[in-house]
Amino acid sequence: MTKIKRYVEDIEDELKGAKCYIEKALEYKASGNADRYNGYKEMSIQELGHAMRVHEYAVQDINKLREVYPEIPQKMMDAWEKSHVDFVEKTAWIKQMQSM
């Protein structure tokens, strides 16, 4: 079940990068540097895309694991469920910042 843990860590890492890049982008936008704003915004969009792809893979693999192991340890499923809720919330926030 370390596979689920790795997915959680990878998703968190990608979301952290997306958030960091969009915050830098908005700082550059506020200072009038459109070139840097666009560059950092694009990096944020790419990182968010990575997070979404990893999340998609995680969902697919967890569904396959459930077919083979109907009794996945509750601790692992709790970690996944928490990660999923965090993913949805953070993704919405990052997208909102990207639309600014």
pLDDT, tens only, 71-92: 878 888 888 899 899 999 999 9
Mean residue pLDDT of the chain comes to 93
What confidence score (pLDDT) does residue 73 get?
Answer: 82
26 within 8 A of 48, measured Cβ to Cβ: no
Q: Higher model confidence: residue 34 or residue 3?
A: 34
The CA–CA distances, whole Å, from 15 to 31, 46, 90, 97 equal 25, 10, 7, 13
Residue 69 DSSP class: -
Q: Higher model confidence: residue 40 or residue 65?
A: 40
pLDDT, tens only, 24-56: 999 999 999 999 999 999 999 999 999 999 999
Q: Is the pLDDT of residue 21 over 90?
A: yes
